[in-house]
A and B are shown apart, each in its own frame.
Chain A
Amino acid sequence: MENVGLLYIAAALLIGLGALGTAIGFGLLGGKFLESAARQPELAPQLQVKMFIVAGLIDAIAMIGVAMGLYILFVVVG
């Protein structure tokens, strides 16, 4: 097929930009969690559960991007 190069760049952008946003988001999330756990250690288990919930939400769009990117790489490009 023609222009396979553009498809590779598309997959790279999908995965890379998703990873960028997710990394910053997780950094902020983890930092806030550590701060609040240091302030009130007795709340740490509850906060940890909530942290994982928010982590799953942040992860979602990036993972969708990764799945689409890998699909493009392996099924569309052939």
Chain B
Amino acid sequence: MSAAAELTSQEYIKHHLTNLSVGEGFWSFHIDTIGWSVFLGLVFISIFRSVANKATAGVPGKLQCAVEMVVEFVNHSVTSTFHGKNPLIAPLALTIFVWVLLMNAMDWVPVDLIPWIFAQMGVGYMKAVPTTDINMTLGLAVGVFILIVYYSIKVKGVSGFMKELTTQPFGHWSLYPVNFILEVVTLLARPLSLALRLFGNIYAGELIFLLIATLGFFQLPAHFIWAAFHLLVIPLQAFIFMMLTIVYLSLAHEDH
């Protein structure tokens, strides 16, 4: 770490949990989160675009095979879950799945490697996994929330949307305010739970990697075991984010 003094393990962990931020208070920007998420988004788009341009109907290469598998998987999930008509949903699901998967996959890079490289270049703090930043996951969830409200109003109309919010689950007119409060809480809980679920899983995983790193000599076997355990969580969380987005948007498109 730093050449100056021996860091205690607490300081080491806290140092690795701090984002590289610019500005203060409400206007602080986490440059490392923004940088890594944009970079990974560009990686995703450039790989998929280059495969799409060179796609051949003959015997495919391995990269084309992999991309086709991902696209077919997302397509299958969307067609089996989404019961409306909307050309936006499948590309949205593909973007969410691959982008979140790539961002989560940064957790597999050894926990000290990227901060060490950046420290040699003079940058003090660097968190390489964007989804361990609550701001990133909340940004994704707020985007999904805006889409839910937009499509609810577009498909059902403002009056239809309001009717749905006030007449479920109790039918009597005197209970409409109660219904409204309950339904609004449910509606707000969806994006919030999306964000916190993804954040909690990946943050806890990264923190345990950091804790293992403070073990000193015996870290290597423990790192392997935890990384193997984490092999399931990383794609699973991306898949769950995508599935829940599709399910919520399908509910928004429901027109009785």
Chain B 203-256 residues near chain A, CB threshold 8 A: 203-204, 207, 236-237, 239-240, 243
Residues of chain A at interface, number, CB under 8 A: 18
Contact B243 A59 (CB under 8 A): no
Instruction: Tell me whether A63 and B10 are in contact (CB under 8 A).
Output: no
Whether B243 lies near A67 (C-beta < 8 A) is: no
- Which B1-25 residues sit within 8 Å CB-CB of chain A? 10, 13-14, 17
Q: How many A-B residue pairs have CB under 8 A?
A: 51
Q: Is the interface of B mostly helix, strand, loop or mixed?
A: helix
Task: Looking at the assembled complex, report how far the CB atom of B208 sits from the nearest CB atom of chain A, in whole angstroms.
Answer: 8
Which of B163-171, B172-180, B191-199 is the contact stretch?
Answer: B191-199
A65 proximity list for chain B (CB < 8 A): 200
Q: What 1/0 flags go to A43-78 for Cβ under 8 Å of B? A: 000000000110111011001111110110011001
Taking Cβ atoms with an 8 Å cutoff, the residues of A that contact B are: 52-53, 55-57, 59-60, 63-68, 70-71, 74-75, 78
On whether the beta carbons of A74 and B13 are closer than 8 Å, the reply is: yes
Report A8 CB to chain B, min CB distance, Å.
14
B201 at the interface (CB under 8 A from A): yes
Please give the distance in Å from A4's CB to the nearest CB on chain B: 13
Q: Does the CB pair B197–A56 fall under 8 Å?
A: yes
A-B contact list, 17 entries, CB within 8 Å: A52-B239, A52-B240, A53-B240, A55-B236, A59-B201, A60-B196, A63-B197, A63-B201, A64-B200, A66-B200, A66-B204, A67-B200, A70-B204, A70-B207, A74-B207, A75-B14, A75-B17
